[in-house]
Amino acid sequence: MAKVNTWHAGLVFAILGLLCPLPSVANWLLQCSSCVDQALYSDTKIKQNIEDADLQTILQQMKHIRIREFDHAEDEFYNKFFSKRQLGIMAHELQPIMPTAVGIVPERRWTNPKGVTNKTSNVMLIRDTHLLMAALGALQLLAKKADVWDESIDKLQKDVLAIIEEQNDSRQKREDMLQQIVRTIAKVEVMQHGFAKTEESFARLDGQVTTFKEVQDQRHMSLTTSLGQVQNRTDAQDASIARFQEAFRAAVDREARADLVEKRKRTEAEVEVALVRRSIEKLRWDEDQKTIQLRNE
């Protein structure tokens, strides 16, 4: 902000120096009271049609004004305290850009140092106060824009600081990510080494499994053969057992029949014994009855 204001102040002083030369006795504009620009009288009582100037247009006009360096052809038209060569503006170049700042002096008579009377006709004249006010208007517009620029610069500085802080955070995050990637790569290498060993172990295990399968196949074949033999033996044993069962059943049947015959005979003998005992008891009872009758008689 300080740099912009310093630049503006320098611009104003330069324009004022060009447009407002120091008073001098030899300057005919300062000697001629009727030629003094009445725009310096700024009381509103002597003004009409007062309105705000278009500062944007004035700034564009100021941008197109060409600053020239030239020598004065006559001593009457420059301040003799300074060199004949000076910086200035050509009226015929200013007229297309800023017509209201240029006027024409129809005729003026003056005497040179040698006493010769000279006359100039239709000399173009620049209204320095118009240029001064245009410069002030352009300066105001630039100052307003400078305020916006300063705000934008401050905002950009804050954004840049935020971006720098974010970049630092991103850098730290990238470093952390790189460290994590390095650790991950190390873990992957260790896992690859472990996988290689595991693959070797699986290869050995495949060989052992193949050998085990071959042994198991051989054992299965032997077991199948043995089972076939056992099955044959079992069939023979089953036949022997069946024959034994038939013989045993026949023997049991014979024994059962013999037991039944013996039991029947024993039962018949017991029945006969019982009948004999009954007959004996009956005889005894009859004898006892007879004895009782005899006693009673």
Output the domain CATH number for residue 154.
1.10.10
Q: Is residue 157 part of a domain?
A: yes
pTM: 0.46
Overall domain count for the chain: 1
Q: Is residue 92 part of a domain?
A: yes
Q: Is residue 142 part of a domain?
A: yes
pLDDT of residue 6: 45
Q: Is residue 257 part of a domain?
A: no
Q: Is residue 32 part of a domain?
A: no
pLDDT of residue 48: 87
Query: CA-to-CA distance for 182 and 271, rounded, in angstroms?
Result: 116
Query: CA-to-CA distance for 85 and 71, rounded, in angstroms?
Result: 4
Q: 149 is in which domain, residue-wise?
A: 54-105+120-164
Return the structure tokens found at 2. 């300080």
Return the structure tokens found at 104. 């024409």
pLDDT of residue 40: 65
Distance between start and end Cα atoms, the chain: 182
Q: Is residue 130 part of a domain?
A: yes
Distances (CA, A) of 171 to 160, 161, 165, 179: 16, 15, 10, 12
Residue with tokens 């008891």: 281
Q: Is residue 291 part of a domain?
A: no
**pLDDT in 10s for each residue of the chain, 297 residues:** 444 444 444 444 444 444 444 333 344 444 444 444 444 677 888 888 889 999 999 999 999 999 999 898 877 777 778 888 889 999 999 999 999 999 998 888 878 777 788 888 888 888 888 999 999 999 999 999 999 999 999 999 999 999 999 999 999 999 999 999 999 999 999 998 888 888 888 888 888 888 888 888 888 888 888 888 877 777 887 788 888 878 888 877 777 777 777 877 788 888 888 888 888 888 888 787 877 877 776
Ramachandran bin of 57, using left for φ above 0, alpha for ψ from -120 to 50, beta for the remaining angles = alpha
Q: Is residue 101 part of a domain?
A: yes
Instruction: Classify each residue of 147-156 as buried b or exposed e, where b means 16 or more C-beta atoms within 10 Å of its C-beta.
Output: eeeeeeeeee
